[in-house]
Protein backbone atom coordinates (compact mmCIF):
# COMPACT_ATOMS: atom_id res chain seq x y z
CA UNK A 1 0.00 0.00 0.00
CA UNK A 2 1.56 3.32 -1.02
CA UNK A 3 2.49 5.60 1.88
CA UNK A 4 3.86 9.13 1.99
CA UNK A 5 7.18 8.41 0.19
CA UNK A 6 5.45 6.71 -2.75
CA UNK A 7 2.91 9.54 -2.99
CA UNK A 8 5.69 12.12 -2.96
CA UNK A 9 7.55 10.24 -5.71
CA UNK A 10 4.31 10.01 -7.72
CA UNK A 11 3.72 13.74 -7.31
CA UNK A 12 7.26 14.67 -8.30
CA UNK A 13 7.33 12.43 -11.38
CA UNK A 14 3.77 13.24 -12.52
CA UNK A 15 4.16 17.00 -12.26
CA UNK A 16 6.45 17.55 -15.29
CA UNK A 17 4.20 15.48 -17.54
CA UNK A 18 0.82 16.93 -16.55
CA UNK A 19 1.22 20.44 -15.14
CA UNK A 20 0.11 23.16 -17.53
CA UNK A 21 -1.59 20.68 -19.90
CA UNK A 22 -5.21 20.86 -20.95
CA UNK A 23 -7.41 17.74 -21.00
CA UNK A 24 -8.79 16.97 -24.46
CA UNK A 25 -10.76 13.91 -23.43
CA UNK A 26 -11.22 11.33 -20.66
CA UNK A 27 -11.76 7.57 -21.00
CA UNK A 28 -13.31 5.66 -18.12
CA UNK A 29 -13.35 1.87 -18.32
CA UNK A 30 -13.53 1.40 -14.57
CA UNK A 31 -16.60 3.25 -13.53
CA UNK A 32 -16.56 2.03 -9.92
CA UNK A 33 -13.33 3.98 -9.29
CA UNK A 34 -15.30 7.19 -9.84
CA UNK A 35 -16.59 7.96 -6.37
CA UNK A 36 -17.53 11.64 -6.79
CA UNK A 37 -19.79 11.97 -8.72
CA UNK A 38 -20.62 8.41 -7.70
CA UNK A 39 -19.97 5.89 -10.51
CA UNK A 40 -20.89 8.53 -13.08
CA UNK A 41 -18.23 8.25 -15.78
CA UNK A 42 -20.04 10.63 -18.09
CA UNK A 43 -20.15 13.48 -15.58
CA UNK A 44 -16.56 12.80 -14.51
CA UNK A 45 -15.33 13.02 -18.12
CA UNK A 46 -17.45 16.08 -18.90
CA UNK A 47 -16.22 17.81 -15.75
CA UNK A 48 -12.59 17.40 -16.77
CA UNK A 49 -12.82 18.16 -20.49
CA UNK A 50 -10.96 21.34 -21.47
CA UNK A 51 -9.66 21.82 -17.91
CA UNK A 52 -6.01 22.64 -17.41
CA UNK A 53 -3.95 20.86 -14.74
CA UNK A 54 -2.54 23.72 -12.71
CA UNK A 55 -0.58 21.71 -10.15
CA UNK A 56 -0.18 18.31 -8.50
CA UNK A 57 -0.05 18.24 -4.71
CA UNK A 58 0.22 15.50 -2.10
CA UNK A 59 -2.14 15.23 0.86
CA UNK A 60 -1.13 12.35 3.13
CA UNK A 61 -1.77 9.22 1.05
CA UNK A 62 -3.66 10.97 -1.79
CA UNK A 63 -2.86 13.15 -4.80
CA UNK A 64 -4.68 16.42 -5.38
CA UNK A 65 -4.79 17.72 -8.95
CA UNK A 66 -5.61 21.42 -8.92
CA UNK A 67 -7.53 22.17 -12.11
CA UNK A 68 -8.48 25.41 -13.83
CA UNK A 69 -12.02 26.55 -13.08
CA UNK A 70 -12.06 25.63 -9.38
CA UNK A 71 -13.08 21.97 -9.65
CA UNK A 72 -10.24 19.74 -8.50
CA UNK A 73 -9.50 16.00 -8.55
CA UNK A 74 -8.41 13.77 -5.68
CA UNK A 75 -6.86 10.43 -6.56
CA UNK A 76 -6.62 8.10 -3.58
CA UNK A 77 -4.35 5.11 -4.30
CA UNK A 78 -5.61 2.98 -1.38
CA UNK A 79 -4.14 -0.53 -1.94
CA UNK A 80 -2.19 0.66 -4.96
CA UNK A 81 -2.43 1.69 -8.60
CA UNK A 82 -0.28 2.62 -11.50
CA UNK A 83 -0.44 6.24 -12.75
CA UNK A 84 1.82 6.47 -15.79
CA UNK A 85 2.57 9.23 -18.30
CA UNK A 86 2.23 8.22 -21.94
CA UNK A 87 3.85 10.10 -24.83
CA UNK A 88 0.97 9.31 -27.19
CA UNK A 89 -2.82 9.39 -26.88
CA UNK A 90 -4.34 6.28 -25.26
CA UNK A 91 -7.45 4.98 -27.05
CA UNK A 92 -7.97 1.78 -25.04
CA UNK A 93 -7.53 1.11 -21.36
CA UNK A 94 -8.86 -1.06 -18.57
CA UNK A 95 -8.65 1.89 -16.16
CA UNK A 96 -8.98 5.64 -16.61
CA UNK A 97 -7.15 7.89 -19.09
CA UNK A 98 -6.75 11.63 -19.37
CA UNK A 99 -5.73 12.51 -22.95
CA UNK A 100 -4.10 15.93 -23.22
CA UNK A 101 -4.21 18.54 -26.00
CA UNK A 102 -0.54 18.06 -26.81
CA UNK A 103 -1.02 14.39 -27.72
CA UNK A 104 0.31 12.95 -24.45
CA UNK A 105 -1.75 11.13 -21.81
CA UNK A 106 -1.93 10.06 -18.20
CA UNK A 107 -3.18 6.50 -17.67
CA UNK A 108 -4.38 5.05 -14.36
CA UNK A 109 -4.49 1.24 -14.20
CA UNK A 110 -4.25 -1.64 -11.67
CA UNK A 111 -6.56 0.37 -9.48
CA UNK A 112 -7.94 -2.25 -7.09
CA UNK A 113 -9.74 -0.04 -4.52
CA UNK A 114 -8.43 3.34 -5.76
CA UNK A 115 -10.85 6.25 -5.88
CA UNK A 116 -11.33 9.41 -7.94
CA UNK A 117 -13.19 12.40 -6.57
CA UNK A 118 -14.02 15.35 -8.83
CA UNK A 119 -15.57 18.26 -6.97
CA UNK A 120 -15.13 21.93 -6.05
CA UNK A 121 -12.26 22.49 -3.65
CA UNK A 122 -14.43 23.12 -0.56
CA UNK A 123 -16.36 19.87 -1.08
CA UNK A 124 -13.15 17.86 -1.43
CA UNK A 125 -11.91 19.25 1.87
CA UNK A 126 -14.57 17.14 3.62
CA UNK A 127 -13.07 13.86 2.34
CA UNK A 128 -11.53 11.81 5.19
CA UNK A 129 -8.33 11.32 3.18
CA UNK A 130 -7.82 15.10 2.99
CA UNK A 131 -8.62 15.60 6.66
CA UNK A 132 -5.49 13.78 7.81
CA UNK A 133 -3.12 15.05 10.45
CA UNK A 134 0.20 16.82 10.38
CA UNK A 135 2.49 16.49 7.35
CA UNK A 136 5.60 14.74 8.71
CA UNK A 137 7.87 16.36 6.11
CA UNK A 138 7.03 19.80 7.47
CA UNK A 139 10.09 21.49 8.91
CA UNK A 140 8.25 22.17 12.18
CA UNK A 141 8.12 18.49 13.15
CA UNK A 142 10.45 19.09 16.04
CA UNK A 143 10.26 17.18 19.26
CA UNK A 144 7.87 19.37 21.24
CA UNK A 145 5.50 19.35 18.29
CA UNK A 146 5.74 15.56 17.89
CA UNK A 147 4.94 15.01 21.55
CA UNK A 148 1.86 17.19 21.14
CA UNK A 149 0.79 15.35 17.99
CA UNK A 150 1.09 11.70 19.00
CA UNK A 151 -1.67 10.14 21.11
CA UNK A 152 0.21 9.68 24.39
CA UNK A 153 -1.60 6.55 25.60
CA UNK A 154 -1.00 4.59 22.41
CA UNK A 155 1.91 2.30 21.68
CA UNK A 156 4.46 3.77 19.27
CA UNK A 157 3.51 1.68 16.24
CA UNK A 158 -0.21 2.43 16.64
CA UNK A 159 0.53 6.12 17.25
CA UNK A 160 2.63 6.48 14.09
CA UNK A 161 -0.02 4.93 11.83
CA UNK A 162 -2.81 7.10 13.32
CA UNK A 163 -3.69 9.25 10.31
CA UNK A 164 -5.46 11.81 12.49
CA UNK A 165 -2.14 12.56 14.23
CA UNK A 166 0.36 12.35 11.39
CA UNK A 167 -0.73 11.84 7.78
CA UNK A 168 0.89 9.39 5.39
CA UNK A 169 2.74 6.85 7.58
CA UNK A 170 1.45 3.27 7.40
CA UNK A 171 2.58 -0.23 8.35
CA UNK A 172 5.73 -0.22 6.27
CA UNK A 173 7.38 3.04 7.28
CA UNK A 174 6.27 2.90 10.92
CA UNK A 175 8.34 -0.30 11.29
CA UNK A 176 11.27 1.28 9.47
CA UNK A 177 11.14 4.53 11.47
CA UNK A 178 11.08 2.70 14.81
CA UNK A 179 14.02 0.50 13.78
CA UNK A 180 15.98 3.58 12.72
CA UNK A 181 15.12 5.29 16.02
CA UNK A 182 16.03 2.07 17.97
CA UNK A 183 12.66 2.15 19.72
CA UNK A 184 10.50 -0.80 20.78
CA UNK A 185 7.19 -0.50 18.82
CA UNK A 186 5.16 -1.60 21.86
CA UNK A 187 6.31 1.15 24.22
CA UNK A 188 3.82 3.86 25.03
CA UNK A 189 4.33 7.35 23.64
CA UNK A 190 4.03 8.75 27.19
CA UNK A 191 7.01 6.62 28.32
CA UNK A 192 9.49 8.27 25.94
CA UNK A 193 12.17 10.59 27.23
CA UNK A 194 12.75 14.00 25.62
CA UNK A 195 15.83 12.59 23.94
CA UNK A 196 13.90 9.64 22.52
CA UNK A 197 11.08 11.87 21.23
CA UNK A 198 13.57 14.11 19.51
CA UNK A 199 15.34 11.10 17.94
CA UNK A 200 11.96 9.78 16.78
CA UNK A 201 11.13 13.12 15.14
CA UNK A 202 14.51 13.07 13.39
CA UNK A 203 14.09 9.48 12.17
CA UNK A 204 10.54 10.06 10.89
CA UNK A 205 11.90 12.63 8.46
CA UNK A 206 15.14 10.79 7.69
CA UNK A 207 13.34 7.51 6.91
CA UNK A 208 10.70 9.09 4.68
CA UNK A 209 13.32 11.15 2.85
CA UNK A 210 15.56 8.12 2.34
CA UNK A 211 12.70 6.28 0.66
CA UNK A 212 11.69 9.27 -1.47
CA UNK A 213 15.27 9.50 -2.69
CA UNK A 214 15.15 5.79 -3.60
CA UNK A 215 11.88 6.22 -5.52
CA UNK A 216 9.72 4.51 -2.87
CA UNK A 217 9.32 0.82 -2.07
CA UNK A 218 10.00 -1.81 -4.73
CA UNK A 219 6.40 -2.71 -5.66
CA UNK A 220 5.61 0.95 -6.36
CA UNK A 221 6.10 2.39 -9.86
CA UNK A 222 6.48 6.09 -10.55
CA UNK A 223 4.93 8.12 -13.39
CA UNK A 224 7.56 6.82 -15.80
CA UNK A 225 6.93 3.21 -14.78
CA UNK A 226 10.18 2.84 -12.81
CA UNK A 227 10.11 0.66 -9.71
CA UNK A 228 11.22 2.08 -6.34
CA UNK A 229 14.55 0.90 -4.89
CA UNK A 230 13.99 1.40 -1.15
CA UNK A 231 15.31 -1.59 0.82
CA UNK A 232 13.34 -2.35 3.99
CA UNK A 233 15.48 -2.99 7.08
CA UNK A 234 12.84 -4.90 9.09
CA UNK A 235 9.40 -4.62 7.46
CA UNK A 236 8.34 -8.01 6.03
CA UNK A 237 11.74 -9.45 7.00
CA UNK A 238 10.73 -11.77 9.84
CA UNK A 239 13.34 -14.46 10.42
CA UNK A 240 16.09 -12.53 8.62
CA UNK A 241 19.07 -11.06 10.48
CA UNK A 242 18.79 -7.48 11.74
CA UNK A 243 21.08 -5.31 9.54
CA UNK A 244 22.46 -3.69 12.71
CA UNK A 245 23.29 -6.63 14.97
CA UNK A 246 22.33 -9.85 13.17
CA UNK A 247 19.65 -10.78 15.73
CA UNK A 248 16.60 -12.44 14.16
CA UNK A 249 13.85 -10.00 13.15
CA UNK A 250 10.50 -10.82 14.72
CA UNK A 251 6.92 -10.33 13.60
CA UNK A 252 4.08 -9.73 16.04
CA UNK A 253 0.47 -9.68 14.84
CA UNK A 254 -1.91 -7.63 16.95
CA UNK A 255 -4.48 -6.60 14.39
CA UNK A 256 -1.71 -5.21 12.21
CA UNK A 257 1.68 -6.83 11.72
CA UNK A 258 4.72 -5.30 13.36
CA UNK A 259 8.27 -6.23 12.38
CA UNK A 260 11.10 -5.36 14.76
CA UNK A 261 14.42 -6.39 16.31
CA UNK A 262 14.10 -7.11 20.05
CA UNK A 263 17.89 -6.82 20.41
CA UNK A 264 18.43 -3.20 19.35
CA UNK A 265 14.96 -1.64 19.68
CA UNK A 266 14.58 -0.76 23.35
ZN1 LIG B 1 18.83 -5.28 15.79
Residues, beta carbon < 5 Å, ion ligand 1: 242, 244-245, 247, 261, 263-264
pLDDT over threshold 90, residue 203 = yes
Task: Judge if 25 and 112 occupy the same domain.
Answer: yes
ω before 155 within 30° of 0 (cis)? Answer: no
Q: What is the pLDDT of residue 263?
A: 98
Please give the DSSP secondary-structure letter assigned to residue 228.
Answer: P
Asked, for residue 265, whether it belongs to a domain, the answer is no
Identify whether 157 is part of a domain: yes
Tell which of 131, 162, 193 closes a domain.
131
- Residue at a domain's end among 79, 105, 131: 131
| Dist CA 88 CA 110 (whole Å) | 20
Question: Average pLDDT of the chain?
Answer: 95
Q: Are 132 and 168 in contact (CB under 8 A)?
A: yes
Report residue 34's pLDDT band, with 50, 70 and 90 as the boundaries.
very high
Catalytic annotation, residues: 2-3, 61, 256
CATH number of the domain where residue 179 is located:
1.10.8.50
pLDDT for the residue numbered 144: 75
Please give the model's pTM, rounded to 2 decimal places. Answer: 0.95
For ligand 1, the distance from its centroid to the CA atom of residue 247, given in whole angstroms, is: 6
Predicted confidence at residue 84, as pLDDT, reads 97
Rounded distance from Cα 117 to ligand 1 centre (Å): 43
CA angle at 88 for the pair 111 and 229, rounded to the nearest 5°: 50
Q: Is the pLDDT of residue 143 over 80?
A: no
Q: Is residue 138 part of a domain?
A: no
Host domain of residue 19: 4-131
Residue 226 and residue 246 in one domain: yes
Residue at 125 is within a domain: yes
Cα separation of 149 and 54, whole Å? 32
Same domain, 50 and 124: yes
- Domain assignment present for residue 173? The answer is yes
3-state class (DSSP) for residue 191: helix
Residue 60: what pLDDT?
80
Q: Which of 83, 99, 131 is the last residue in one of the domains?
A: 131
Name the pLDDT band for 245 (thresholds 50, 70, 90).
Answer: very high
Centroid of ligand 1 to alpha carbon of 183 (angstroms): 10
Q: How many domains does the chain have?
A: 2
State whether 101 and 209 are in the same domain.
no
- Cβ neighbors of 248 (< 8 A, separation 6 or more) are 239, 240, 241, 242
pLDDT in tens, 82-114: 999 999 999 999 999 999 999 999 999 999 899
61 & 124 share domain: yes
Q: How many CA atoms lie within 13 A of 29 on its CB side?
A: 14
Closest CA to 36 of 85, 76, 1, 81: 76
Query: How many angstroms does the Cα of residue 3 sit away from the middle of ligand 1?
Result: 24
Q: Are residues 114 and 149 in the same domain?
A: no
Amino acid sequence: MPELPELEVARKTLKPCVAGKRIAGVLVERERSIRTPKEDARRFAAGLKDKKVESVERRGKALLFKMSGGTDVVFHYKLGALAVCRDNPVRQTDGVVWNFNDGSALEFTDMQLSEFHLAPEDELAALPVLKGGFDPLSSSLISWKLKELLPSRKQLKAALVDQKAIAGIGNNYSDEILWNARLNPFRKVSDLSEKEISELARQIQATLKESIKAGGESEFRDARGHHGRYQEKVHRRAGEPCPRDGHQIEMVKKGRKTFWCPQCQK
